[in-house]
């Protein structure tokens, strides 16, 4: 019988390697993970330090199926120190789950507690068209297993509640900042599906009846893991195609990647505007549960939004001086 893997030792080694490669190291406020195809030009204030994920212990050397080598970037984003990955490993590569989660696990080990995941998806709704940004308010795990299996020794609670896995407070800050820039990501339910293939018409109809707006190959494992580790989590999905009732339209991965590239600039501007106005507070007040549909109407307890110099801050149609 093989010995169980020492996950904590592997996480510690990955975190140590990151601090060595990105020296001098200071703990960032945010960890962002972008899927393949997204471009982060303009995200950082200056040329960021970087290291390829393959240099972390236990990570594969070869390119992803999109012919991409995932990279860590480290530097200030509008004055807020951030750790960012462009590209990551997926379950459909057959490498197991651990390489998919190691970047966020290393970020968590290094003390980063605010995680944002960005991925492409296929829309199942006629009003969510290619190029539309969405903000996840809930998800369905279509893999039929949990990323927490075998990780209970790392968790503050071995049986975490996933009812609010996506941070309403953090989401409210993103929605407010994006709204001021003319972006209105739609709240949606996302379903992660196994395999790299696009789903069939019958599979899409089945998911639609379950209340799913978007399907894709990522996000869910990361959301579950980060939340269970005690992090504030937000997740965005970019619609890069549609599967609707009626005659099917062919989907191509190259078109998905091109949509990601084309839509990146607007999202990067929104991120820069958001992180600049998020000030983490040392003390987090208890917060009662609110309907997920009103996530963008919540004031944050662990973030304070700074008023802009040019005009008073606007929230919920009211002026706050």
Which one, of 65, 34, 193, lies nearest residue 124 by Cα?
Answer: 193
- Cβ neighbours for 122, distance < 8 A, ≥ 6 positions apart: 198, 199, 214, 215, 216, 239, 240, 241, 242, 243, 251
Tell me what percent of the residues of the chain surpass a pLDDT of 70: 85
Tell me: the pLDDT tens digits for 261-320? 999 999 999 999 999 777 554 333 333 333 434 444 433 334 333 333 333 333 333 333
**Rounded distance, CA 152 to CA 160, Å?**
10
The domain made up of 7-282+291-320 is a member of CATH 3.40.50.1580: yes
User: E strands of the chain, at which residues?
Assistant: 30-34, 49-52, 71-77, 80-86, 114-123, 133-141, 186-192, 214-216, 232-242, 279-280, 303-304, 313-315, 318-320
Reply yes or no on whether the pLDDT at 51 is more than 80: yes
197 secondary structure, DSSP code? S
Mean pLDDT of the chain: 87
> Model's pTM, two decimal places?
0.86
* Average pLDDT of span 28-37: 97
* Average pLDDT of span 155-175: 94
Reply yes or no on whether the pLDDT at 201 is more than 50: yes
**Rounded distance, CA 103 to CA 59, Å?**
10
């Amino acid at each position: 019988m093989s010995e169980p893997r020492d996950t904590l030792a592997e996480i510690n080694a990955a975190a140590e390697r990151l601090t060595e490669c990105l020296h001098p190291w200071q703990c960032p406020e945010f960890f962002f993970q972008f899927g393949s195809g997204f471009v982060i030009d303009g995200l950082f204030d200056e040329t960021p330090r970087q290291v390829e994920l393959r240099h972390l212990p236990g990570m594969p050397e070869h390119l992803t199926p999109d012919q991409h080598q995932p990279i860590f970037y480290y530097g200030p984003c509008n004055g807020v120190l951030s750790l960012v990955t462009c590209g990551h490993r997926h379950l459909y590569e057959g490498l197991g789950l651990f390489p998919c989660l190691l970047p966020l696990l290393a970020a968590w080990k290094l003390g980063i507690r605010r995680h944002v995941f960005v991925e492409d998806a296929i829309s199942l709704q006629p009003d969510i068209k290619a190029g539309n940004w969405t903000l996840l308010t809930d998800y369905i795990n279509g893999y039929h297993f949990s990323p927490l299996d075998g990780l209970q020794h790392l968790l503050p609670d071995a049986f975490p509640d996933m009812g609010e896995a996506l941070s309403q407070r953090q989401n409210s800050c993103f929605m407010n900042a994006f709204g001021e820039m003319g972006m209105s990501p739609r709240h949606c339910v996302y379903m992660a599906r196994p395999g790299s293939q696009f789903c069939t018409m019958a599979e899409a109809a089945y998911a639609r009846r379950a209340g799913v707006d978007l399907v894709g190959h990522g996000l869910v494992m990361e959301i579950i893991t980060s939340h269970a580790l005690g992090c504030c989590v937000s997740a965005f999905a970019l619609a890069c195609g549609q599967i609707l009732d009626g005659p099917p339209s062919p989907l191509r991965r190259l078109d998905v990647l091109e949509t990601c590239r084309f839509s990146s600039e607007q999202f990067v501007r929104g991120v820069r505007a958001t992180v600049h106005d998020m000030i983490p507070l040392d003390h987090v007040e208890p917060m009662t549960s609110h309907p997920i549909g009103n996530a963008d109407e919540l004031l944050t307890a662990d973030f304070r939004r700074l008023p802009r110099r040019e005009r008073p801050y606007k929230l919920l149609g009211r002026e706050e001086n």
